[in-house]
């Protein structure tokens, strides 16, 4: 893996293999989740990230272990990219005690103290004030940490977006705001929701530097994230990164997608971040096709193991139902 | 607790000053503690609780926020999770509705939802209640709503000792704690008992002992209830007055012990009657002490209207001493 302290992306074979692997882990993990949803192993609301993998992989590549992440209910990608194990993540999808949140959060509420992963927030825009807070706390404790706050274009419609952008800029807090603009907040097209659809431009109103990047290009996302994270960390000012991306699947498992046409989907499918990276790697002879097969095999084995882990997992005893509603101490 | 200002000499101070001493002491005791809210620093607080503190403690520890309740309350929650100890001030409970998403969906939920990985040790203070002719958007008593929410602790300091000392155990608590200060108490003067150097945030307290009836109340209604108890004594009725202090979790054993002695209950709550804290208390007593009751439980609550501006209308909407006295007399004489 590249040194996160370096603002530039090193396009060597090892790193590119790593990026491809990271995206494939997310894609294949979610394909399995989709299957498991059909067989009712996974229930509840589940929002797949299919098509958006380059955003979480590219941004998280630029972070250090001491940095914090606040994400949305569509956060399997961030969770895996951040290093939450596939086993506890799959067990969480199953609602098992061995899940990262003991099966209490499920798909929409992934939390992990070890990697400073603060959700898994299922109120659109609800995570942004939290991210302002983790950054404020880190700054007061002189941690030199950055909080990466992921949110969708729908969150931009919420007052909390504007309050949080203003607070972070006013107080010079180390937040990287990452808008995953997939053009729809559920079924609401961005041009039907925003008077100005240029989300990246909205940082200007808060004196916040930023960039707009092709969210279907993992190298471009990583490069932009590295530039902005370095700026956030060094100057302790927040930045806004808009990643233009697209979700290939439905909003959730209950969505007939009446709001968009097949032709639009086909156009975006051609820009699939995984297909693009693979094609480029083949063209430049950076990665042998056999190597891609090997990656697929590794990922498949990891997923099989995660499913086996989740299947073998136990259910939390209902006698613990009320446990952790009120805490008896602050966990260390 | 040893840093109570003024030490041995009993001080006659306002409730506002007691709150301020508590905030000052907490900030001086722990570098992680700071206060933030609208106009808390240069203005000195909308009820002047923090007047002068930013000059003494600096604007990082007494931090003015823009008018972004959802933003800065959420930031307080995030900062608490990250390891500092924020005291977030909201001007009034009505404004807290702009931050209700953060309080209910984040502060109250994250510990349980994350399987106990995180605690949320944030303290959120706000004014509540009517009596200053501030009309319908500054006068409501919505603390009962928050007392409905698992994952929160809800405090209502009425006495000077509680105003002064509840803050520190609230900050020490690993859970989100909401503190409701009734607007009519800020100017109230009383002696801060120098013998008291700390209080709990878990029990209700008997503020006046009596054998004939139990009057259960909290916050701004405590002193109306105590005044009513005085008047009742002149009528030969010995009323026991219980100050809930803690609205969540309710100290039910203290309530039941009193009912076992008096066999009659009147609940005085400035919240509205329907779906209220008073309803919850009445239900608990009925569930656990039905056969100890000699008479139906009575409730005195605010009229079910948005609190109006005009003084006579506002007062007509609120629990009053005369109403408490009349209700109790009717109850004890119905035997």
CATH code, domain carrying A66? 3.40.50.970
Collapsing DSSP states into helix, strand and coil, what is residue B103?
Answer: helix
Residues B174 and B72 both lie in one domain: yes
Pairing state between β A175-181 and A147-152:
parallel
Show which of residues 54-93 on chain B sit within 8 Å of chain A, judged by CB atoms: 60, 65-66, 68, 70-84
**Dihedral angle of Cα A245, A250, A252, A255, to the nearest 10 degrees:** 140
Cβ contact (<8 Å) for B115 and A113?
A: no
B17 is an active site residue? no
Residues B186 and B59 both lie in one domain: yes
Residues of B with Cβ-Cβ distance to A131 under 8 angstroms: 78
Q: From the CB of residue B210, how many other CB atoms can be counted at a distance below 10 Å? A: 19
Residues B187 and B257 both lie in one domain: no
Q: Is A172 part of the contact surface with chain B (CB cutoff 8 Å)?
A: no
Q: Which of B134, B129, B131 is nearest to B144 (CA)?
A: B129
Alpha carbon distance A180, B137 (integer Å)? 37
Cβ contact (<8 Å) for A136 and B111?
A: no
Residue A124 lies in a domain: yes
B138 is an active site residue? yes
Residue B259: both structure tokens together:
């009912």
Residue B198 lies in a domain: no
CATH code, domain carrying B306? 3.40.50.920
The last residue of a domain, from among B146, B161, B192: B192
Q: Which of A16, A29, A51, A10 is nearest to A214 (CA)?
A: A51
Residue A327 lies in a domain: no
Residue B1: both structure tokens together:
């607790």
**Domains in chain B, number:** 2
Residues B33 and B182 both lie in one domain: yes
Alpha carbon distance B174, A327 (integer Å)? 6
Q: Give pLDDT tens digits for A28-78.
A: 999 999 999 999 999 999 999 999 999 999 999 999 999 999 999 999 999
* pLDDT for residue B57: 97
Provide the domain limits for residue B121. Answer: 11-192
Residues B34 and B96 both lie in one domain: yes
For A25, list phi and psi in degrees, rounded to 5.
Answer: -60, -45
DSSP strand E in chain A: where? Answer: 68-72, 111-112, 117-121, 147-152, 175-181, 184-185, 188-189, 210-214, 239-244
| Minimal C-alpha gap between A318 and chain B (Å) | 13
Residues B235 and B115 both lie in one domain: no
Residue B159 lies in a domain: yes
Residues B33 and B157 both lie in one domain: yes
* Beta carbons within 8 Å of A76's beta carbon, 6+ residues apart: A26, A29, A30, A33, A48, A49, A89, A107, A110
Alpha carbon distance A40, B92 (integer Å)? 47
Residues B122 and B228 both lie in one domain: no
Residue A266 lies in a domain: yes
Residues B275 and B178 both lie in one domain: no
Q: From the CB of residue B163, how many other CB atoms can be counted at a distance below 10 Å? A: 29
**Is the sign of the CA dihedral B240, B271, B120, A315 positive or negative?**
positive
| Minimal C-alpha gap between B91 and chain A (Å) | 17
Q: Is the pLDDT of residue A17 over 70?
A: yes
Contact A145, B152 (CB under 8 A): no
Contact A101, B113 (CB under 8 A): yes
Cβ contact (<8 Å) for A133 and B112?
A: no
Q: Give pLDDT tens digits for A223-258.
A: 999 999 999 999 999 999 999 999 999 988 888 899
* pLDDT for residue B2: 42
> How is the beta sheet containing A175-181 ordered, strand by strand?
A111-112, A117-121, A68-72, A147-152, A175-181, A239-244, A210-214
Provide the domain limits for residue A217. Answer: 13-251+261-320
Residue A68 lies in a domain: yes
Contact B214, B265 (CB under 8 A): yes
- By CB atoms closer than 10 A (0-12, 13-18, 19+), residue A65 is exposed
Along chain B (335 residues), what's the average pLDDT of each consecutive run of 10 residues? 55 96 98 98 95 96 97 98 98 97 98 98 98 93 98 98 98 98 97 94 98 98 98 98 98 98 98 97 98 97 96 96 98 83
Choosing from B69, B143, B181, B270, the catalytic residue is B69
Q: Is A323 part of the contact surface with chain B (CB cutoff 8 Å)?
A: yes
For B184, list phi and psi in degrees, rounded to 5.
Answer: -80, -5
* pLDDT for residue A6: 58
Q: Is A330 part of the contact surface with chain B (CB cutoff 8 Å)?
A: yes
Pairing state between β A239-244 and A175-181:
parallel
Residue A325 lies in a domain: no
Show which of residues 62-91 on chain A sit within 8 Å of chain B, judged by CB atoms: 68, 70
The one-character DSSP state at A315 is P
Residue A256 lies in a domain: no
Cβ contact (<8 Å) for B78 and A130?
A: yes
DSSP strand E in A184-301: where? Answer: 184-185, 188-189, 210-214, 239-244
Cβ contact (<8 Å) for A331 and B116?
A: yes
Q: Is A130 part of the contact surface with chain B (CB cutoff 8 Å)?
A: yes
Give the closest of B71, B110, B119 to A164, CB-based: B71
Residue B56 lies in a domain: yes
**Domains in chain A, number:** 1
Contact B309, B315 (CB under 8 A): no
Alpha carbon distance B180, B126 (integer Å)? 5
Q: Is A138 part of the contact surface with chain B (CB cutoff 8 Å)?
A: yes
Q: Is A285 part of the contact surface with chain B (CB cutoff 8 Å)?
A: no
Residues B323 and B248 both lie in one domain: yes
Alpha carbon distance B75, A166 (integer Å)? 12
């Amino acid at each position: 893996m590249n040194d996160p302290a370096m603002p530039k992306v090193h396009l060597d074979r090892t790193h590119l293999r790593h990026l491809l692997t990271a995206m494939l882990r997310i894609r294949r993990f979610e394909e399995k989740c989709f299957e498991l949803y059909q067989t009712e192993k996974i229930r509840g609301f589940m929002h797949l990230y299919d098509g958006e993998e380059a955003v979480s992989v590219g941004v998280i590549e630029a972070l250090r272990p001491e940095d914090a992440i606040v994400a949305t209910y569509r956060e399997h990608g961030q969770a895996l990219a951040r290093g939450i194990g596939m086993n506890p993540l799959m067990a969480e999808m199953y609602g098992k005690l061995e899940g990262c949140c003991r099966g209490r959060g499920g798909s929409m509420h992934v939390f992990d103290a070890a990697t400073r992963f603060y959700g898994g927030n299922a109120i659109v825009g609800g995570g942004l004030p939290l991210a302002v807070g983790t950054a404020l706390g880190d700054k007061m404790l002189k941690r030199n940490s950055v909080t990466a706050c992921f949110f969708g274009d729908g969150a931009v419609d919420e007052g909390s977006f504007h309050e949080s952008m203003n607070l972070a800029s006013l107080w010079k807090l180390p937040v990287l705001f990452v808008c995953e603009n997939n053009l729809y907040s559920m079924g609401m097209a961005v041009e039907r929701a925003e008077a100005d659809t240029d989300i990246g431009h909205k940082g200007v109103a808060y004196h916040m530097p930023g960039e707009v990047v092709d969210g279907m290009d993992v190298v471009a996302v990583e490069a932009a994230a590295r530039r902005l994270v370095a700026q956030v960390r060094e100057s302790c000012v927040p930045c806004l990164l808009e990643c233009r991306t697209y979700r290939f699947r439905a909003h959730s498992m209950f969505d007939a997608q009446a709001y968009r046409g097949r032709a639009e989907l086909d156009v975006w499918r051609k820009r699939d971040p995984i297909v693009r990276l693979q094609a480029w790697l083949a063209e430049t002879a950076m990665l042998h096709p056999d190597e891609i097969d090997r990656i697929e095999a590794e990922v498949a084995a990891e997923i099989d193991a995660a499913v086996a882990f989740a299947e073998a997992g136990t259910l939390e005893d209902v006698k613990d139902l009320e446990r952790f509603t009120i805490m008896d101490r602050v966990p260390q | 607790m040893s840093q109570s200002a003024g030490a041995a000499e009993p001080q006659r101070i306002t409730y506002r000053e007691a709150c301020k001493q508590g905030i000052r002491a907490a900030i001086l005791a722990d570098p992680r503690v700071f206060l933030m809210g609208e106009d808390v620093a240069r203005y000195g607080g909308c009820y002047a609780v923090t007047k002068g503190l930013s000059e003494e403690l600096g604007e990082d520890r007494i931090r003015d926020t823009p008018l972004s309740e959802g933003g800065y309350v959420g930031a307080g929650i995030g900062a608490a999770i990250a390891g500092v100890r924020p005291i977030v001030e909201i001007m009034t409970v009505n404004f807290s509705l702009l931050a209700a998403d953060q309080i209910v969906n984040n502060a109250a939920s994250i510990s349980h939802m994350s399987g106990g990985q995180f605690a949320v040790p944030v303290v959120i203070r706000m004014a509540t209640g009517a009596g200053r002719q501030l009309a319908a958007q500054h006068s409501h008593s919505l603390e009962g709503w928050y007392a409905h929410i698992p994952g929160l602790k809800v405090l209502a300091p009425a006495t000077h000792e509680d105003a002064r000392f509840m803050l520190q155990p609230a900050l020490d608590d690993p859970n989100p704690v909401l503190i409701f200060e009734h607007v009519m108490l800020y100017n109230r003067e009383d002696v801060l008992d120098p013998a008291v150097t700390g209080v709990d945030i878990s029990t209700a307290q008997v503020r006046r002992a009596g054998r004939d009836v139990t009057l259960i109340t909290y916050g701004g209604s405590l002193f109306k209830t105590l005044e009513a108890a005085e008047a009742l004594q002149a009528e030969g009725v010995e009323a026991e007055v219980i100050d809930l202090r803690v609205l969540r979790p309710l100290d039910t054993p203290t309530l039941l012990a009193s009912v076992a002695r008096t066999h009659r209950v009147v609940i005085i709550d400035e919240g509205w009657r329907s779906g209220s804290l008073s309803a919850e208390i009445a239900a608990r007593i009925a569930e656990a002490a039905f056969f100890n009751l000699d008479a139906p439980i009575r409730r005195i609550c605010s009229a079910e209207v948005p609190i109006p501006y005009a003084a006579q209308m506002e007062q007509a909407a609120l629990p009053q001493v005369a109403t408490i006295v009349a209700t109790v007399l009717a109850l004890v004489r119905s035997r």
